[in-house]
């Protein structure tokens, strides 16, 4: 069975047109927030620039995202280093680390190897998502970033939704801002805000066919006046895309006029940059994130756009911090279908059948569900 067939079965449809037609503009069942495990760094030197510990950041996030007073968490001493964009030389052997603190407190977790503690707490409480706090070092361990699949694969053989609270190097104030923006945005009808989806051609899950389907999926809920598409791959000129045309060359070079004030952005080309930091991404001059904005650039340089989106006011981004294999990040049409069905960003990132190598993760507010508000429109009979 090929990946496309698996995707359609997962969507509950035997063909793409049926899956498009079946998407209802109402809130579906989503992962319960109180079934989320948060892993934080207990090292005394692991603090944000504004002085908060990893546990304080985790506690704030959980309290303000509705996890309840006694949410599920594990504390591990990952060391205290400079927490910026990080790579594989920052942490030693994860298999030797032990859980230093847990909630609820239990010898099934505290004192156990991390692998055992994670497996036990997920099984004991039927947990469904795993997030790490911003001060947990970001690196690849056996091909699995700890803000990605590594911890989720410790828990069960099936892939669990995962993500990172905030981003490496963020402050506590950044987390407060992102959480507040996500909470606010989840009370709004964000289908009435500017989006640009599709119109670019890269490869695998970000090629022209996938991007065209992603555009069609967004068009099921977003009016054409609020939906744009790039003109890079020829699909717009061929009449394959919904919405208005956006000049990709002008966008990518930072010269687009008028500048976009966007809520959701999804495309698939490596961005033009003037250096190796997100601040130097040229397209920053072509768009501004709205409050509650999210972005995902399906490419090996997705961290440029992801970080710059969060730095400039967005609250969620899918990104990777290392070169993926061609199908190492989720397919764009799957992410589009999940978001339009009201799923969280973490669920959208983790669920694609084409995501073989788990290099992509969700930063910011990973349980953000930007399209899950109760619709004012009646559900279909």
pLDDT of residue 20: 39
Q: What is the DSSP string of 26-62?
A: S------GGGEEEEEE--TT-B-TTS-BHHHHHHHHH
pLDDT at 50 over 90: yes
Residue 381's pLDDT band, with cuts at 50, 70 and 90, is very low
| Residue the block writes with tokens 């209802």 | 24
- Sketch the domain layout of the chain as residue ranges: 33-170, 185-361
Tell me the mean pLDDT in the region 61-77: 91
Number of Cβ within 10 Å of residue 257's Cβ equals 7
Name the band, by pLDDT with cuts 50, 70 and 90, for residue 275: confident
Q: In CATH, which of 3.40.1620, 3.40.1000, 1.10.1760, 3.40.50 is domain 185-361? A: 3.40.50
- Most confident region among 68-77, 123-132, 172-181 by mean pLDDT: 172-181
DSSP 113: B
- Predicted pLDDT of residue 6: 33
Q: What is the DSSP letter of 314?
A: -
Q: Give CA torsion, residues 296, 34, 313, 48, to 10 deg.
A: -110
Residue with the two structure tokens 């156990």: 112
pLDDT band at 322 (very low <50, low <70, confident <90, very high): low
Residue 328 has a pLDDT of: 57
pLDDT band at 91 (very low <50, low <70, confident <90, very high): low
Mean pLDDT (whole number) for 296-324: 86
Say what the pTM is.
0.86
Average pLDDT over residues 27-48: 77
Query: Which pLDDT score is estimated for 360?
Result: 80
Tell me the average pLDDT across 4-28.
34
**The two three-digit tokens of residue 132, written as one number:** 């790490």
The predicted pLDDT at position 278 comes to 78
Arithmetic mean of pLDDT over the chain: 82
Q: Please, which pLDDT band fits residue 171 given cuts at 50, 70 and 90?
A: very high
Q: Are strands 361-364 and 316-319 parallel, antiparallel or unpaired?
A: antiparallel
pLDDT band at 26 (very low <50, low <70, confident <90, very high): very low
Asked if residue 4 has pLDDT above 50, the reply is no
Report pLDDT for 373: 66
Tell me the helix, strand and coil percentages in the chain, rounded to 5: 35, 20, 50
Region 166-180: mean pLDDT is: 94
pLDDT of residue 3: 35
* pLDDT tens per residue across span 337-380: 999 999 999 999 888 765 555 568 899 999 999 998 643 333 33
Distance CA 245, CA 235 (A): 10
Tell me which range, 134-138, 165-169, 271-275, is most confidently predicted by mean pLDDT.
Answer: 165-169
Q: How confident is the model at residue 74 (pLDDT cuts 50, 70, 90)?
A: very high
Distance (Å, whole) CA 210 – CA 205: 6
């Amino acid at each position: 069975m090929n990946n496309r067939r698996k995707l359609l079965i997962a969507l509950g449809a035997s063909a793409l047109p049926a899956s498009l037609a079946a998407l209802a503009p109402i809130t579906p069942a989503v992962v319960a927030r109180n079934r989320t495990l948060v892993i934080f760094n207990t090292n005394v030197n692991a603090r944000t620039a504004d002085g908060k510990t990893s546990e304080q950041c985790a506690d704030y996030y959980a309290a303000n995202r509705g996890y309840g007073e006694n949410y599920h968490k594990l504390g591990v001493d990952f060391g205290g280093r400079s927490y910026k964009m990080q790579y594989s030389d920052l942490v030693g052997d994860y298999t030797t680390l032990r859980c230093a603190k847990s909630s609820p407190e239990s010898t099934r977790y505290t004192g156990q190897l991390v692998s055992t503690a994670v497996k036990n707490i997920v099984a004991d409480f039927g947990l469904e998502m795993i997030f790490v706090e911003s001060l947990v070092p970001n690196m690849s361990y056996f091909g699995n970033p700890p803000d990605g699949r590594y911890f989720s694969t410790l828990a069960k053989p099936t892939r669990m939704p995962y993500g990172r609270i905030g981003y490496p190097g963020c402050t506590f104030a950044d987390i407060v801002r992102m959480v507040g923006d996500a909470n606010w945005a989840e009370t709004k009808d964000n289908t009435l805000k500017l989006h640009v989806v599709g119109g670019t051609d890269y490869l695998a899950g970000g090629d022209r066919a996938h991007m065209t389907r992603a555009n069609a999926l967004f068009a099921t809920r977003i009016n054409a006046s609020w939906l744009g598409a790039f003109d890079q791959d020829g699909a717009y000129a061929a009449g394959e895309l919904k919405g208005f045309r956006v000049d990709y060359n002008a966008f990518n070079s930072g010269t687009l006029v008028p500048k976009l004030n966007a809520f959701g952005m999804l495309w698939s080309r490596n961005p033009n940059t003037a250096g190796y930091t997100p601040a130097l991404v040229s397209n920053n001059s072509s768009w501004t994130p709205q409050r509650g904005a999210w972005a995902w650039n399906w490419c090996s340089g997705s961290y440029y756009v992801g970080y710059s989106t969060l730095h400039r006011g967005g609250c969620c981004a899918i990104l990777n911090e290392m070169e993926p294999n061609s199908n190492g990040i989720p397919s764009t049409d799957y992410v589009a279908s999940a978001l339009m069905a009201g799923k969280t960003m973490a669920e959208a990132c983790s669920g694609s059948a084409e995501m073989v190598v788990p290099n992509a993760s969700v930063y910011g507010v990973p349980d953000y569900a930007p399209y899950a508000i109760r619709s004012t429109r009646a559900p279909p009979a």
